[in-house]
Structure 1
Amino acid sequence: MSSVETTGYHGSLRDLPTDNWMSHLPRSLWDVPLCNLAIPGSHNTVTYCLDRNDRSPVDLTQPDMLRKLDKYMKPLIRPFVYKWAITQECSVKEQLDAGVRYCDLRIAHRPNDHSSDLYFYHGVYTTVTVETVLKEIREWLDSHPREVVILSFSHFQGLSQDLHRLLIETIRNVFVTKLCPKTESTHLSNLWHLGYQVIVSYEHAVLGRHEDLWGPVPYWWANKCRADLLVEELECRKRRGRPGGFFVAGINLTEDLKYICSHPTESLKDLVTSTYPHLLEWVKAQSPGSGSASINIIAGDFVTEGQLVPIVISLNEKLLQWTQ
């Protein structure tokens, strides 16, 4: 091993190579549970490949009025849907290279599709299947053996119990021995020793017991389209105390139909980039750890833009005085 691998990094954590930042953490952080570290995440991770030829109705997560308009005025309304449904422009590999270690994966089965193929969705469906993306993640992990990812599977639109079983089987077949059981300690030193690189959160009451599937990861969603109101909501959540394990503070803004109609030439990316400076000031003030006001995963939109990822990674410096 190199000196970095045996002793860790001693400079500013903000300068760590983002594709291997976990393996370069200072040695004193190797025995901190992942739920007590600051971890960058991406909200609605797979929306960089939405199907622009899809003519299926927009999903139930969209405003009721937008769904009605889309039904009868699809050629006019659908361009607005795409502009506000894309939350990430980079592929999952590019996000992992950029330092993302939590992926928000929203699963769907296309209506009237007689195959067992599963897709991601946000308003509309993706062109890429779930299995394809999981294999891309596996390939990336093979070349980054000391990095650990948290994959949160949720929403599950249109999945039958048989499709749930198929998805779970696919997860196991793709990641095999990399899957970390929910009974295992998540210290990096322990995960490295055992070869575990994937923690799967499965947000559904599937049949049977699954020791290799973790329960839901709570997501603090502010449901605000203004940065100041989002920060206010997150601070309110912090005062109530953090969950005991993994959880996400989402700094993703939520557009509503009123906002979209009043900003017809803009997109979600315009909204995000204009408010990121304010939101990043809040992020810089956060601290990881086990305290009631500490944070864990911080997820946002367009995470490869700006400095969100290195700022979140650098928050772990605040733990060093307690671990050294």
Structure 2
Amino acid sequence: LTIGACFMKLPAKTPSLKQTLVLGSHDAMAYSLDMDSSVLEPNNIKAFDSWLSTPIRPIVKKWSTTQEKNISEQLDAGIRYFDLRVAGKPESSDLFFYHGLYTTMTVKEGMTELEKWLGRHTKEVVILAFSHFKEMSADQHTDLTNFLKEHFKAKLCPKPQDCWESGYQVILSYDNRSVDDPVLWPAIEYWWADKSDPKEVISYLNNQKQKGRPVGLFVAGLNLTFDGMDVHLYLTKSLKEKTMTAYPRLLDWVKEQHSGSDKESVNIIAGDFVGVNSFAQDIIQLNKADSGP
């Protein structure tokens, strides 16, 4: 399984996808959160939304916005793995992305934008990881998977295949056991620390590493999260502030893994605010170092 020229300015011939640092976007569509939508998570805050929506939603958005670049801009920056979380809306027949709040962009709109980008970049391969489904019926799962298959058609890479050499452009991972289809890849394991302190994130990732590499593709999440015990932080800071401060320490961890003897201890590296900080370019440079002159 090769990903070929999936990273900007890399030569067409690269190591296997399992041996390559793939750039990932955590909660990739959270740049378009809707302030007018209801709160979907976390549950302890969702309970207050019906009668405190005006003061609560701006705070939820501040900590749920994980990206600022749209999907085309993320692709241009070199992102090739997209963490996509989908929810149904009681008052709409459309499906939306979400993170704390619903997005303004529908799933169909987001995937249409991505498909157009692939049409302009025919040698690129992307990994779409659909998961964390909320408020969705079995019929909606069927409708969504049918849409994705029809939308990407010949671009979809059947499992397992040499995607790049065969001209496929989309690896479609779908984390729902009730749906089985030869073009749908299984869920991709995501190492998520659920911590707001980068030192604790690194400790968690190191513990996961000691358990051994998962079979197939997997994600090391560099993303921080809100610590519900620190109410002051929640009210006064934003996720972006935390991420920018923590990023150098987290990148050092990636470099340490990549420079060691066991480079397969990392694979997909996912982060927040990709394209805003130097995340994408720094990972690309590590891949370039592997590819030689």
2:70 corresponding residue in structure 1: 91
Give the deviation of 1:177 after TM superposition.
Answer: 0.4
Give the direction of change, closer, same or farther, for the CA distance of 1:288–1:21 in structure 2 (3 Å limit).
Answer: farther
The structure whose Rg is larger is 1
Give the deviation of 1:264 after TM superposition.
Answer: 2.0
Give the deviation of 1:180 after TM superposition.
Answer: 0.2
CA RMSD of aligned residues (A): 2.3
Give the direction of change, closer, same or farther, for the CA distance of 1:204–1:258 in structure 2 (3 Å limit).
Answer: same
Alignment equivalent of 1:295, drawn from 256, 263, 266: 266
Alignment equivalent of 2:118, drawn from 124, 138, 141: 141
Give the deviation of 1:263 after TM superposition.
Answer: 4.6
Give the deviation of 1:103 after TM superposition.
Answer: 0.3
2:169 is aligned with 1:184: no
Q: Which amino acid aligns with 2:114?
A: I
Distance in structure 2 (CA, Å) of the matches to 1:252 and 1:23: 23
2:199 is aligned with 1:199: no
Give the deviation of 1:182 after TM superposition.
Answer: 0.8
Give the deviation of 1:36 after TM superposition.
Answer: 1.8
1:17 corresponding residue in structure 2: none
Give the deviation of 1:87 after TM superposition.
Answer: 0.5
1:272 corresponding residue in structure 2: 243
Matches within 5 A, 1:48-67: 48-54=31-37, 56=38, 58-59=39-40, 61-62=41-42, 64-67=43-46
**What SS is found at the alignment partner of 1:305?**
coil
Alignment equivalent of 2:85, drawn from 87, 101, 106: 106
Matches within 5 A, 1:1-324: 22=7, 24-26=9-11, 28-29=13-14, 32-54=15-37, 56=38, 58-59=39-40, 61-62=41-42, 64-113=43-92, 115=93, 117-186=94-163, 191=164, 193-207=165-179, 209-287=180-258, 291=262, 294-317=265-288, 319-320=290-291
Give the deviation of 1:317 after TM superposition.
Answer: 4.3
Q: Which amino acid aligns with 2:157?
A: C
Q: Which amino acid aligns with 2:123?
A: R
Give the deviation of 1:156 after TM superposition.
Answer: 1.3
**What SS is found at the alignment partner of 2:235?**
coil
Q: Once structures 1 and 2 are overlaid, which stretch shifts more, 66-75 or 269-278?
A: 66-75
Q: Which amino acid aligns with 1:285?
A: E
Give the deviation of 1:313 after TM superposition.
Answer: 2.0
> Are the equivalent residues in 1 in contact too, given 2:257–2:263 (CA < 8 A)?
no
Percentage of identical aligned residues = 43
**What SS is found at the alignment partner of 2:90?**
coil
Distance in structure 1 (CA, Å) of the matches to 2:251 and 2:260: 19
Give the deviation of 1:260 after TM superposition.
Answer: 4.3
Give the direction of change, closer, same or farther, for the CA distance of 1:183–1:262 in structure 2 (3 Å limit).
Answer: closer
Give the direction of change, closer, same or farther, for the CA distance of 1:240–1:319 in structure 2 (3 Å limit).
Answer: farther
Q: Which amino acid aligns with 1:126?
A: T
Q: Which amino acid aligns with 2:181?
A: H
Output one character per residue of 1:23-59: Cα deviation in whole Å (capped at 9) or x when no partner.
Answer: 7423552xx32122101100000011111122x2x22
> Are the equivalent residues in 2 in contact too, given 1:66–1:257 (CA < 8 A)?
no
Equivalences, count: 290
1:11 corresponding residue in structure 2: none
Give the deviation of 1:71 after TM superposition.
Answer: 3.2
Give the deviation of 1:277 after TM superposition.
Answer: 1.7
Output one character per residue of 1:248-268: Cα deviation in whole Å (capped at 9) or x when no partner.
Answer: 000000112223434522111
Output one character per residue of 1:135-167: Cα deviation in whole Å (capped at 9) or x when no partner.
Answer: 111100111111110000001111111111111
Q: Which amino acid aligns with 1:267?
A: S
Q: Normalised by the size of structure 1, how large is the TM-score?
A: 0.83
Q: Normalised by the size of structure 2, how large is the TM-score?
A: 0.92
Q: Which amino acid aligns with 1:46?
A: M
Output one character per residue of 1:154-203: Cα deviation in whole Å (capped at 9) or x when no partner.
Answer: 011111111111111111121110000012134xxxx2x42200000000
Q: Which amino acid aligns with 1:198?
A: V
Distance in structure 1 (CA, Å) of the matches to 2:211 and 2:129: 23
Q: Which amino acid aligns with 1:44?
A: D
> Are the equivalent residues in 2 in contact too, given 1:118–1:130 (CA < 8 A)?
yes
